[in-house]
Structure 1
Amino acid sequence: MNIKVKNFEELSTTELYEVLQLRAEIFVMEQDCVYQDIDGKDERAIHIMGWEDGNLVAYARCFRAGDYFDEASIGRVLVRENYRKLGYGHKITKASIEAIESIFKAEKIKISAQIYLVIFYESHGFKTIGDRYMEDGIPHIAMIRA
């Protein structure tokens, strides 16, 4: 998987279209969750894209401290369904952590994790904080990596 890291202005219209299409495919269609994906925050994010044979197969967006949470953060992490179990989730998460550390010079990262992914994120150094909560009809918990 080839990783590309771009800010919003660097995204081509084709890349932006593919990102939004894949996010809708995973978060709206697959997870059957109606929510406002285009939330006005993409312009402040850096976009971590994983490409395989010209196809966008993994993605995450990252924010500097204060742009989403008080800490730097990672969100919208996904892997296209037929590319799961190939380790791409780990690769896109690792690339996101590295991008935050190198671009934003931040060490503390906060995420809002779906409950079923807690063990996955723990393997990347995140620890749960606080209580579980519902976000867009899906159980989540805050996690911090410091």
Structure 2
Amino acid sequence: MSLTGAYDPDNVFAKILRGDLPCVKVWEDDRVLAFMDVFPQSEGHVLLVSKVSTARNLLEVEPAVLAELAEGVRRTARAAARALTPDGISVMQYNGDAGGQTVFHLHFHVVPRWADRALKGHGHAPMADAETLKALAGRIAAAMD
């Protein structure tokens, strides 16, 4: 998919937001949902999406929605740092197929990193165990401020 086009209401994140597909929630409010990536690049990999916008990428998002997502990313990264004590955290956001985007609903990745652990490839990591994701989500949620 290119950087332009129509929003697909049947993308996987839209299905999660509608409740058509399950997810392991870390936290949510009326406007943002944070949930565990089922193909994590690293332990504690969290995705954040807007519940109110159909922006496909950063180029289309409404400024107020972007601000809400950015604050959610900050809060989630702080909680992941407290809960998992990584050596670092990567925040990633991809735009367009050539830019690495695989789901065309604007989303951000919060990926805890450790110096002695290799990062798995984006879109190439194996599916994680649901119970492991639930435990990690609980630890991160408990560390939210």
* Both proteins in one fold, TM over 0.5: no
User: So what's the TM-score if we normalise by structure 1?
Assistant: 0.41
Greater relative contact order, per chain length (Cα 8 Å cut-off, separation 6+): 2
User: So what's the TM-score if we normalise by structure 2?
Assistant: 0.41
Higher strand fraction (1 or 2): 1
